[in-house]
Copies of this chain bind each other. A is one copy, B any other.
Amino acid sequence: MEMGAMSLEHFSDRLMAAIETRGSRLCIGLDPRADDLPEAVSRSNGRAVETMEAVVRLCVLVMKAAAPYAAAVKLQSAFFEALGPGGDMAFTALAEAAGKLGLVVLGDLKRSDIGPTAEAYAAAHLGTAEAPSPFDAITVNAYLGADGVRPFIEAARRTSKGLFVLVRTSNPSAAELQDLTLADGRAVCEAMADLVRAWGDDLMGEAGYSDVGAVVGATVPAHLAALRARMPSQPILVPGYGAQGGGADDVVGAFDYRGLGAVVNSSRAIMYAYRAEPYSALFGADDFAAAAAVAARDARDAINQALHRAGKLL
């Protein structure tokens, strides 16, 4: 159906609409390392800037520069928790700023707990009627089974938001548990995929996607295509693109025949683009935002071109 005609009451519909409207499947990952900030934000008029302020400046400038080339932004909770008191406020403020740029805002929290504890996490990060949250969706770790996911699903239903459950992560040692073979022949990550598919069944949007999505890494393309087939209605958040080694052709399997159904996250390769080839030859550390913009544009185009080659995009 036409994206423009949808009511957008579902997270999944808003995500697909953002992909179509913005012409991009890129998610900008904000992983600001407090011990590794460009001087352009960590010093001002020759004096050191307070770390929290420098981190916020870095994120705002990268986000603003790269936003025109992206559909979504993903903020990594850990780097804000590591800032100490006040880090939570910076996290929320940046999420609000991202929303104002028209981006779908993802909170990368990978929380895992059950019952009232999971309800508290959901209230904190998906929001409540009284205290809305700027995040459109968050990531969840479902090692604890349905008890660890249902409270997030119920919160997502009440707030018209979404979640992405870790299914197959992009890191080398993911295989240690996630790729073990079960007695019934499935891999552990396939069993997780089957659970996620079932959990998402009653939270379907109009574009054919559930508000319960999955995280599947770009680093093992065969996994990505197999898990896409196993979860035909799950939006997929694909980490591992860029710095972790996944390329544009590796992520094609995450998308449906219309080039919808997934967003591809790139963190370091955008935020720290000025340090790496080919951008380091063109941009200095002071131009980190311009480098981020060009890296985001190139990532957007590379993904779209790979989809075009695969016949998934006109």
A interface residues with partner B (beta carbon < 8 Å): 31, 33, 76, 78-79, 81-82, 84-89, 92, 108, 110-118, 120-121, 123-125, 131, 141-148, 166, 169, 171-178, 180-183, 185, 188, 191-192, 195
Contact assessment for B177 and A120 in the assembled complex, using a CB-CB cutoff below 8 Å: no
Indicate if the CB atoms of B144 and A171 lie closer than 8 Å: yes
Contacts of A181 in B (CB 8 A): 182-183
On whether the beta carbons of A124 and B88 are closer than 8 Å, the reply is no
Report whether A82 and B124 are in contact in the complex, using a CB–CB cutoff of 8 Å.
Answer: yes
Complex Cα gap A169–B147 (Å): 11
Closest residue of B by beta carbon distance from A186: B180
What's the minimum C-beta distance from A185 to chain B, rounded to whole angstroms?
Answer: 8
Q: Give 8 nearest A-B pairs by CB, closest first.
A: A145-B173, A145-B176, A78-B120, A81-B124, A82-B120, A146-B173, A147-B171, A82-B124
B191, A180: Cβ atoms under 8 Å?
yes
Picked from B85, B124, B143, B171, the residue with its CB within 8 Å of the CB of A166 is: B143
Measured CA separation A123–B123 after assembly (Å): 25
State whether A143 touches B146 (Cβ < 8 A).
no
Please name all residues of chain B whose beta carbon is closer than 8 Å to the beta carbon of A76 when the two chains form the complex: 113, 117, 120
Q: How far is the CA of A176 from the CA of B141 in the complex (A)?
A: 14
Residues in chain B near residue A195, CB distance under 8 A: 176-177
Copy total for this chain: 2
Give chain B nearest CB distance to A159 CB in angstroms: 14
Query: In the complex the two chains form, is B182's CB within 8 Å of A180's CB?
Result: yes
* Known pairs A88-B88, A110-B113, A183-B183 / 20 extra A-B pairs, C-beta < 8 Å: A33-B120, A78-B117, A78-B120, A84-B88, A84-B131, A85-B89, A108-B113, A110-B141, A111-B111, A112-B112, A143-B166, A144-B169, A144-B177, A144-B178, A145-B171, A145-B174, A145-B175, A145-B177, A147-B171, A177-B195
Q: Is the CB of A148 within 8 A of B121?
A: no
Residues of B within 8 A of A87 (CB): 88, 124
A112 touches B148 (CB 8 A): no
Name the CB-closest residue of B to A188: B188
A171 CA / B145 CA spacing, docked (Å): 9
Q: From the candidates B117, B125, B173, B191, name the one contacting A31 in the complex (CB within 8 A).
A: B117
Closest-CB distance, A52 to chain B (whole angstroms) = 13
Question: For residue A191, which residue of chain B has the nearest CB?
Answer: B180
CA distance A85 to B141 in the complex (A): 24
With a 10 A CB-CB cut-off, give which of A87, A112, A131, A182 has the most chain B CB atoms.
Answer: A112
> Roughly how many angstroms separate A182 CA and B188 CA in the complex, as a whole number?
8
CB A49 to nearest CB in B, in angstroms, measures: 18
A36 to chain B, nearest CB (A): 9
Tell me whether A79 and B117 are in contact in the complex, defined as CB-CB below 8 angstroms, given that A88-B88, A182-B181 are known contacts.
yes
| A144 x B173 contact (CB < 8 A) | yes
Q: In whole Å, how far is A60's beta carbon from the nearest beta carbon of chain B? A: 19
Q: State A123–B118 Cα separation when bound (angstroms).
A: 23
Contact A114 B169 (CB under 8 A): yes
* Nearest CB of B to A142, in Å: 7
